[in-house]
Amino acid sequence: MQFQVRFHDRLCGVLSIEDERMQFAYDAAYLAGGGPVLSVAMPLRAQPWPDAQVFPFFENLLPEGLLRELLASELGTASNNFERLLAATGGDVAGALSLEQTPQSLNTPHVSAAGDALSEAALGEVVERIKSHPFLVQNPQGMRLSLAGAQNKLPIILDDQGMVRLPGNRPSTHILKPPSERFTALVENETLCMRAAARAGLRVPPSWLVPFRTANDTLRHGYVVQRYDRRPLPDGSTQRLHQEDTCQILGIPSARKYTQDGGPGFGEVFRVLRRFTVPAAVQQQELVRRMLFNLLIGNQDAHGKNVSLLHTDGQVVLSPAYDLVCTEAYDGLSERFAMPIGKAWQWRELNDAALDDFQADTGVALRRQAGVLRRFIDKAAEAVAQEAAALQREALPESHATLAQIARITQRHATQLKAWLI
């Protein structure tokens, strides 16, 4: 099976899949025109790129784990049938790409109008539907949407009045995450952590709580975040911006995104920043602060797929932060860091040796900037406290205990982190 791969709606090349092995060849006209690279790991060249580089890149565009299995079941296929999964979901993946198995035109893609604005009740129906129909792959609007990750989510358009619309096959502008049936106040948790990160000075896209009503007219909230890989244009259309995560760059399938499973650690991630981003020193400093912020809020799930590069305005930079959540607020989740700090996998192992090992792995000496980093920790902890208080006035009462718990976790970790960085 072959897919036409578009980059900013321009034919970029052809993805071929045969016996679960992939190959990508840049289009000759695209090469002649010097188009942007598909990936920093796959520069422009006439020779096709082989499965070793191509498979991890495209496989990482798909949803993961149980969500991929549910999607495959909905499509009546196997979870390793990448042809079917990409055909169903490849129209609006992360970044500037779109995949078409049989495009109507190689130059002018068909774009339908976005759907009507959804009332709270209608949005509630959509939220209920995606539990069993991930990404609404059978939607009559012809939506072909995918976002990598294990948590159910839906790409949407949020209009100028703040109303949610289904995008059809237009580029989506925002991501909607519904409430979790397993983890209490997960959407409020992520909203708090993302807003606090922004207040602390990290680069983070705006996020909202959006109300909807269930079938029994119960008011609930979904989490909506603006897509940083989309840019509104003056004519009202939306431009895709390209991005790729570190697993795609390093050729690591999504099932191995955790360091303990063979995924990237901080050493590999910092080397990616030094090799590909400009100015690299600024991007590295941002990543150091994000690492500390994840430690501060108790996010033990900050893995390699949560670090991406954004291709914008002719430069490659660290993308804005995303998926910031306090996992420590929930019993039963792993207490091990997704990426160790040196050889430290847990809080009790953060000692002088961890600082030395982290410097050896990454080339970053945290001790030399201890004063600056301790001030950042104070600022970030205060940001969490302020945003928790503000969000309690906005969120439903059943989330208040979780928000207060996150604030307490953060204060405790702030004390521990500052003592570690002395």
Active site residues: 301
Strand-pairing partners, residue 207, are 225
How many H helices and E strands in the chain?
A: 12, 14
Task: Give how far Cα 330 sits from Cα of 299, 346, 375, Å.
Answer: 11, 16, 28
For the chain, how big is the Rg over CA atoms in Å? 21
**Can you give the three-state secondary structure of 251-280, one letter per residue?**
CCCHHHCCHHHCCCCHHHHHHHHHHHCCCH
> What whole-number distance in Å separates Cα of residue 56 and Cα of residue 252?
6
* Alpha helix (H) residue ranges in 200-351: 246-250, 266-276, 280-297
Which of these, 242, 318, 247, 251, lies nearest to 24 by C-alpha position?
251
Question: Terminal CA-to-CA distance of the chain, rounded, Å?
Answer: 57
> What whole-number distance in Å separates Cα of residue 313 and Cα of residue 295?
32
* Alpha helix (H) residue ranges in 150-237: 186-199
> What whole-number distance in Å separates Cα of residue 21 and Cα of residue 13?
17
How crowded is residue 221: how many other Cβ atoms within 10 Å of its Cβ?
A: 20
Omega before residue 279 within 30° of 0, cis? yes
